[in-house]
Structure 1
Amino acid sequence: MAYLDNIRTFVRVYELGSMSAAARDLRISAAVASSRISQLEGHLGIRLFQRTTRLLNPTEQGNTFYKGASKILEAVEAAEADISDITRSPRGTLHVAAPIGIAQRFIAPAVPTFREAYPLINIRLRSSDRKLDLAAEGLDAAFFLGVPEDSNLRIRKITDCPRVLCASPDYIKNHGMPTSSDELRTDMHDCLNLRYPGAPEFQWPLQTANGVKRVTVSGPFESDHGEILTSWALDGQGIVLKAVFEISEHLAKGRLVPVLVDEPPLPIQLACLYMHRRRQDPKARLFIDFMVDHIQASMPK
């Protein structure tokens, strides 16, 4: 097991490009991660990485060893999955990610129920509205709003989520009710945008009498946290584009009111992403099936 742990640590260091990042991902200290790499290098009699105080780059031998090492780990995972299937006792740890709103409203509340049914499966849930790299971050599954860019991932559609443009009554009182999406392109209205590092230019896809119009919007505030945008909208700071399930209570109580109802935004797809080999793991399959059923039953109509 020690040798396998060393290989697993090497693979994560290689994929994340950082000793400290790999250590955090594996929940060990950076010193332990460094020691494991040194032990592996000693066993192989080669240098796997060129290290400086700031950079860590794989050597040619490191690149070659990674190809074989990743296959070793895949083979071990497949063997463990086969045993779980035979014994019907899935076990191990699942690394799962979801947008903050999905994680808070659907995934996190259902995790204890899933754990009661499968007590040998541990869940590591990461909630983030930024774009995630499943392979680089070691995720077994990621719930996703939108259309994924990576064609190498498998996707399981859960539902289409209606969306709405909305603002607080105070914002409408101070700025007026927009009568056309063209007003969003000007400085007449402030738009609250979800933006994260590497995000493309922000556009709101609206359904009009002449087809879909993609409106480039801007405003004084942006955040990579969807709940922050909601709080700003409630505070009268601008117009926000939100999935209805995220703000249904605020709409029902009049704290937020729909705007541009004649040019509503396109619905957004909610799906679960996974790499093909992950779907073969019984514990991943069970978790995805469980959460898809739960979300579909819980999503406000």
Structure 2
Amino acid sequence: MATDRLGDIRLFVEAATLGGLSAAGRKLGFSAAAASARLAKLEAALQVKLFDRTTRTLRLTDEGRLYLQHCRIALESLADAEQALQAGQGRVQGKVRIGASADFGRHQLNHWLEAFSQAHPQLQLALTLTDSLSRLLEDDMDIAIRFGQPQDSSLVARLLAPNWRVLCASPAYLEQYGTPQTPEDLAQHRFIILVTASGPLNDYHFNVAGQRQTLRIALDQAWETNDGALARQWALSGRGITRKTIWDAVEDLRAGRLRVVLPDYAVAEPGIYALLHRNRYQVPRVRVLLDFLLERFRQASQELPPAPENIVRFPSLGL
């Protein structure tokens, strides 16, 4: 194997994962020209074409897809071997990649990760914030924190904490427009809707006498954003009623900056989960972060306000 064939292979895998050679080069610290030259060198050594390339697209060839499967297995095996050696020496190191929703990541998780970093200064963190479901394989995440249990059986899902959603608004908004007493009263109100890659989350669900009822909010009544943190800021500014997880709203509720609307009609959620690849579940650097998150969520769960007494558990809808 050539001196830096391993580096060329890492570049190839990143280019296939990210869908672009320039993006892969940036991630690994190569210029666009250097990345192109390294890929060309790898193809020449293998005597096959790994990608069909145009100025705008990068598409794997049949040979490239086959090679990618084996390269990923090889890189994962090397990483596991290194981690096993480190674990045997009583230390962990490297980079842990974690994904979370925007509002939760900025206003809760980020503070926890500061504490984690102080306890494990030898580990580096990569935090990706998005309100769309993270594709762990494509985004190369070690752990993704998501509200609701996933349907993908190929992933390990660890329950971190309970969860429920609340409709909430600022005191100023409620003073101006009134506080709704039933779901039907919402027809007279303004809203802030989170929009994801799969569409707007404008179906609101209520527990009415033990039965789930759904109210679809017309978008012409709403402000829209794809950023959960911005949606919360708009609610604080009195723009309307929004739906937040209790985890995203709890600090504002405690401080009186937001108030819960229609608490007696709340619907339960399955909880917050950590999603992991099965082949990374026991990797030491990932395991130490997972254990840290389990403990932090356990502590924070004890400080949540009590869930509404009449809450009924329904399947999760949304993120």
| Structure 1 residue runs of 4 or more that deviate by more than 6 Å after TM superposition | none
What residue ranges of structure 1 are gaps of 5+ in the alignment? Answer: none
Matches within 5 A, 1:1-301: 2-184=4-186, 186=187, 188-199=188-199, 202-218=202-218, 219-267=221-269, 269-299=271-301, 300-301=303-304
Find the aligned partners of 2:174 and 2:116 in 1 and give their Cα distance. Answer: 43
Q: Aligned-pair RMSD on alpha carbons?
A: 2.2
**Residue pair 1:95, 1:140 contacting (<8 A) in 2 also:** yes
Equivalent AA in structure 1 for residue 211 of structure 2: G
Between stretches 121-130 and 260-269, larger displacement belongs to 260-269
**Residue pair 1:163, 1:268 contacting (<8 A) in 2 also:** no
- Judged with a 3 Å threshold, the aligned counterparts in structure 2 of structure 1 residues 235 and 286 are, in CA distance, closer, same or farther, namely same
So what's the TM-score if we normalise by structure 2?
A: 0.85
Displacement after TM superposition at 1:237 (Å): 1.4
Find the aligned partners of 2:64 and 2:106 in 1 and give their Cα distance. Answer: 40
Find the aligned partners of 1:53 and 1:85 in 2 and give their Cα distance. Answer: 44
Equivalent AA in structure 2 for residue 230 of structure 1: R
Identity %: 30
**Residue pair 2:193, 2:200 contacting (<8 A) in 1 also:** no
Displacement after TM superposition at 1:104 (Å): 2.9
Find the aligned partners of 2:217 and 2:86 in 1 and give their Cα distance. Answer: 50
Equivalent AA in structure 2 for residue 97 of structure 1: G
Q: Deviations over 1:47-81 (max 9, x none)?
A: 11111112211112112211211111121122112
What residue ranges of structure 2 are gaps of 5+ in the alignment? Answer: 305-319
**Corresponding residue SS for 2:81:** helix
Aligned length: 299
Between stretches 96-105 and 156-165, larger displacement belongs to 96-105
Find the aligned partners of 1:158 and 1:25 in 2 and give their Cα distance. Answer: 30
**Residue pair 1:106, 1:294 contacting (<8 A) in 2 also:** no
Q: Deviations over 1:97-130 (max 9, x none)?
A: 1223332344322334333433322111222222
Find the aligned partners of 2:252 and 2:62 in 1 and give their Cα distance. Answer: 57
- Judged with a 3 Å threshold, the aligned counterparts in structure 2 of structure 1 residues 253 and 125 are, in CA distance, closer, same or farther, namely closer
Find the aligned partners of 2:114 and 2:170 in 1 and give their Cα distance. Answer: 35
So what's the TM-score if we normalise by structure 1?
A: 0.90
Between stretches 197-206 and 116-125, larger displacement belongs to 197-206
Equivalent AA in structure 2 for residue 196 of structure 1: T
Displacement after TM superposition at 1:169 (Å): 2.7
Find the aligned partners of 1:252 and 1:107 in 2 and give their Cα distance. Answer: 18
Q: Deviations over 1:180-212 (max 9, x none)?
A: 21344x4x2222121122246532222221422
Find the aligned partners of 2:244 and 2:30 in 1 and give their Cα distance. Answer: 38
- Judged with a 3 Å threshold, the aligned counterparts in structure 2 of structure 1 residues 150 and 202 are, in CA distance, closer, same or farther, namely farther
**Residue pair 1:165, 1:265 contacting (<8 A) in 2 also:** no
Equivalent AA in structure 2 for residue 34 of structure 1: S
Displacement after TM superposition at 1:94 (Å): 1.0
Equivalent AA in structure 2 for residue 129 of structure 1: D
Find the aligned partners of 1:88 and 1:228 in 2 and give their Cα distance. Answer: 42
**Residue pair 2:92, 2:284 contacting (<8 A) in 1 also:** yes
Equivalent AA in structure 2 for residue 154 of structure 1: V
Find the aligned partners of 2:107 and 2:258 in 1 and give their Cα distance. Answer: 19
**Residue pair 1:203, 1:216 contacting (<8 A) in 2 also:** yes
- Judged with a 3 Å threshold, the aligned counterparts in structure 2 of structure 1 residues 268 and 99 are, in CA distance, closer, same or farther, namely farther
